[in-house]
Amino acid sequence: MNGVGEREASDSAAESISSELLINVIRTLTTTVSNDQRQLEKQRIEQCYRQSEQNIDKLLKEHRSDALHCLSTFQSVSKELTSSREQIRNIKSSLSLCKTFLQCRRDDLNKFWLENAQQKKVCDILQQIQQIKKIEKTVDVQLANGEYKEMIRVLKDADVLLKGPFDKMEGISQLKFVVSENLQKVFGQIVNDLLQCVFVEPFEAQTLEAVKSGKMVESKIGAALIERYPKKKLVALNDEGALRLRLAELLQSLLVFGQVDKALDEMFDRMPNLFLRLSNGAAEVVKQSAGGERSAGERDASHLAKFVNIAIAQMSFASRNFALLSLELQQLSHQFLPNCQPIMKRFWHIVQVGFEEILAEYLLVWRNKKDGNDGAGGGGVQKKALFSFENASFVSSVNASSRKKQFCVVCTPDIYNVVAIFHKLSALCREVESQLGEDCCYLSVYLQTFVAEAFLEQIRVDLERQTESVLNGADLWSSMSDVPPHTQRILSCCVRVFELCERINGYIVSMEPYALRFASFWLLILEHFIKGFSDKYFQIVMLRQVHADGGWADYPKLSAAWVVDEDISRLLMSLPSWSAVKKSPFSPDQIQTPFAADVVNLANILGESEQEIRERTQRESEILIGNLGTQKQPKSSELITSMDHIKALACLHESLQWFVGKMRALVDGLSSRAKELTKTRIQITTSGNGGTLIDQMLCEAIAERINTLEKLSDNLLLILHLELRFHCFFHLITITQNQSALSLLSQDEIDRDVMEFGRDLSQFHATLHAHLSPTKLKYLFDGLGYLCSSIFIHSCQYLTKLSEMGRKRICRAIFSVQKYLSQLSGRPETELQRAQIFFDFLNKDLDQLFATIVERGAVFSFVEYSILLSLLIRSHSTLNSQPGVLEAATNQLRDILSHQQKGKPNQKPISSMVGTEAANFSLITHVIFDLDGVLIDTERHYTTANERAMEKFGSKFTRELKLMMMGRKKSEAVPLLLKDAGLAGRVTSEQYMEEYDQHLKQIMSTLTEELPGATKLIDHFYAQNIPLAICTGSDSEEFGDKMRKFDKWLQKIPIRVLCGSDPEVRNGKPHPDAYEVTMGRFVSKPVSPKNVLVFEDSINGVESALGAGCSVVMVPQREFLPKDWPEKELRSRANFAALLDSLEHFCPKPFGLPDFRLREGGGCRG
């Protein structure tokens, strides 16, 4: 075998060589260019061919024996193959005989089998027909038991037989009818069960809840529902697992016959009427729970709100079941129902359309019904809405009455019913949109269309009509109303207009998405309101005068002309008196009405002396004297003499002020979202400038109108203030300015003038007392004594001379005026004694007058002394004819007053400065303020919060406890407080601070006010680049609550040490740690603690500052000082600089600080 293999290998090698040689020859012959080369190749090939021939011959000789052996083997194999073929042929012949025999046997067996099968088939058919005959009874039993799977299996088997093997069988049509009828019965029952599961049961369950909550269990409706839904069934309704199993069984049953789509279509076709019927049931429940009677107004809307709540709960409950149905259908849809429509869209579309139809009954709305199907899907075309109040009243009433028969109505239909249910409907719309994944659902479109096209327009029409009715009423300016807790009666028109605004606010609260539109109605009302009040205002303050040409013109009366002048009104409103009335420190109970208390007690109660009243009103009197004291007597026509007009002005002022406060509270009370909506810019038609259009934010427009009303209110009060003073000029100038009066008029005639003055002021007071608050009444009558005294004095400059009799008559008139004013104000009105002294000086000669001035000091100003000298000389029988006497006397007076001014010792600008001269104090380079009781008025708030907290824990917060706590850190003060109050052990510090902080936060957020002089002092120091700091016992949370209104200070006072939470302050006041830490935080450190001026109000705080070595000005709130507080001891302490009643009394100059810039009426006092 190896030899054979080698031969085969050699043969293949030779064949390979031959092939390569042949290829080489062909390549050479085709590529060689020259003949010589081709000849050379030819010779080489021939040589190789001869060599190959020799090799072949050699190989044949070597393998001859092998070739002969192969031939012999081939012959033996050929013989064996021929023998095998013969044997195979014989086997095939035998197999063919066997096959023929088996075929004969099979035919016999097949004949016998066919005969047996036919007999068995006939028996089975007869049995199946018998079962189909019994199927009706079987279906009834299984329907009663709810065995849907077995029932459907039986029906399916029967249906398969009748439509399959028995399809062409004759005589079984009755059986087909029975099966078809039972199939319809089962189909209807399954649809009923589906509706019951996903729709009826949720609706009736929620109605049953309303029955129980309305205590209507004994009613017919309640008894039926309770019988139908026992407690066990109600629990089962909330079992989602059981419901899904039930739905799956029903859907699988429908799927067997391919009836799922048909069943769903029938179910949704039946739902609209079913929805209305079930909703009517809920309405019956609400109606019966209300006693079967429809009330008016708010109760009606509340019944509708209850009904809508029930309806929404019903729909939400049903939507959960439909969602489960949708899940089951989705599982089937992937396999068997690829074209199934979205269940949730179909459900929500039907209930929204039905609910819209119900709402239309309550909102006086209906839709145009068009022929054709609405479409069961959620994408149907929306119908155009019509509103009953847009059509004829007869048509509206007929349609409304015909449609009411279809519904049980729980309240009177009214377009305003939407307010009570808007929030609930909006929540339902959001729920629907969330479930459907839509931006705006069908019900939302309906609701928005109704509100935008009908409700808002109806409100606008009603508001215009009602506002016009209010402002054009016959009793507009006479009818008054009590408005608790406001102490003064308010014009009924104001109250009614505010009620309209308050109603709009209710709409904003209930329908916040439309806050912009509703707030624009505020603008509409305010425009009408301003116009109505302005018209009345001008009727009172305008004076109509006839010209020589027969025409006439309107001029403002004197007080109104002053108020219209912006410079004058701004000046008057910048005076202390105006600030006092706008921010009165007295409560109404503290301000006594005339004749209610004796003079001494009254002065003690108010805590404001006549000197302080004079200081507050002196500048105003000087302005009035400067403008009216040098002119002729005001005309009666220039004054408002009718007390009805005075009453009207007072009522207008109080009503407007009340209205402005209420409106601001309404605007401030808007939610953050509503406020953002009102920041939208809108086109507004201005009342002036020809009604031009301006682009303005709505909130700014509303604030502008409110400010206009507030300015009108302030103007009214200012007019009353000026009018009262102008009346004083009118009456008093008559007595002194008429040159011939004092010589020709009898005493009785002068007394009549004074009595007329008293009668006029008494009428003023009686009218204003009945219609103004005590604070404003006090503002109006404060300072009249000084003004009247100044009128008497300054009006003398126009007298040619004054006799002794005339002087006595004037003095008697002054006394009578003082008596009248004292009766009205309840004070002695000692300022009129200035006028008495002035006219008493007329009894003296020049030398006596000058000696009195030198001895007692100046009582009057240089101008008033000049008037006195001039009248004294003119009235003197000798001096009046001597030239130069008045000039010489005036020069002598000027020298005396100048000498007195220069010769005065250095008076301390601070009344209670200690004995050490101000010049001995160190130069102040830094200033530290305590906060509470110095800059802001919070000590009374701390007291209130502590009183409430102590009351909660059964104890009482006393004055002694208050004094102990003042200035201390809260963490230190509270344990001491609990210990002294006997609460230690029963109440922990944490419990007390939690209760205290709760009350304090409520008070601080609204009631914290700055103390007088604080802003002025901070601004002055800041302008002079003096480093400022605050050192307070508060913690960071308290500090933030208190300073929310005073950000302007924090920008100027960068250093703030809060002892209550500052870790560096180990011990609070009265320890010096607090002020030592504060001084250490100044960027530029003070040279010495004495160069740091501290303003403190409490004894603990003063001790702390003095202990740190600082210079101290104490500004106590005396009501919080103990009766035996160590005033003398503190005054004697080194570095104790001053004791002030207010920061307004502080004068910086003695401390080396820059003085205040002198303004008109400003500067340091003292």
Instruction: Please give the positions annotated as active site.
Output: 930, 932
Take residue 912 and report the two structure tokens written for it. 């209670």
The 3-state DSSP class for residue 1114 equals strand
Q: Which residue has the tokens 């015909």?
A: 402
* Three-state SS sequence of 204-246: HHHHHHHHHHCCCCCCHHHHHHHHHCCHHHHHHHCCHHHHHHH
Compute the distance between CA of residue 510 and CA of residue 670 in angstroms, rounded to an integer: 12
Instruction: Give yes or no for a contact between 161 and 121, defined as CB atoms under 8 angstroms apart.
Output: no
Take residue 13 and report the two structure tokens written for it. 């090698």
Distance of CA 214 to the CA centre of its chain: 35
The 3-state DSSP class for residue 414 equals coil
Q: Which residues partner with 490 through β-bridges?
A: 481
457 exposure class (CB count in 10 Å sphere: 0-12, 13-18, 19+): middle
Would you tell me how many other CB atoms lie within 10 Å of the CB of residue 573?
Answer: 16
Pairing mode, if any, of strands 1111-1114 and 1136-1139? Answer: parallel
For the chain, the C-alpha Rg in angstroms (whole number) is: 56
1111 membership: H or E segment, kind and range: strand 1111-1114
- Quick one: CA torsion of 798, 800, 806, 812, rounded to 10 degrees? 10
Compute the distance between CA of residue 660 and CA of residue 975 in angstroms, rounded to an integer: 45
Compute the distance between CA of residue 450 and CA of residue 390 in angstroms, rounded to an integer: 12
Instruction: Give yes or no for a contact between 693 and 683, defined as CB atoms under 8 angstroms apart.
Output: yes
1095 exposure class (CB count in 10 Å sphere: 0-12, 13-18, 19+): buried
The 3-state DSSP class for residue 697 equals strand
Compute the distance between CA of residue 478 and CA of residue 494 in angstroms, rounded to an integer: 12
Compute the distance between CA of residue 935 and CA of residue 954 in angstroms, rounded to an integer: 33
Half-sphere exposure of 236 (CA within 13 A, CB side): 12
Q: Which residues contact 59 (CB under 8 A, 6 or more apart)?
A: 10
Q: Which of 1075, 1085, 1077, 1146 is nearest to 1106 (CA)?
A: 1075
261-to-121, 377, 651, 1028 alpha-carbon distances in Å = 38, 13, 75, 83
Instruction: Give yes or no for a contact between 305 and 289, defined as CB atoms under 8 angstroms apart.
Output: no
Q: Which residues partner with 543 through β-bridges?
A: 555
Compute the distance between CA of residue 473 and CA of residue 428 in angstroms, rounded to an integer: 43
104 exposure class (CB count in 10 Å sphere: 0-12, 13-18, 19+): exposed
Q: Which of 463, 435, 440, 464 is nearest to 513 (CA)?
A: 440
The most distant pair of C-alpha atoms in the chain lies apart, rounded to whole Å, by 196
DSSP character string of 907-964: --SSTT--SS-GGGSPPP-EEEE--BTTTB--HHHHHHHHHHHHHHTT----HHHHHH
Pairing mode, if any, of strands 681-685 and 480-481? Answer: unpaired
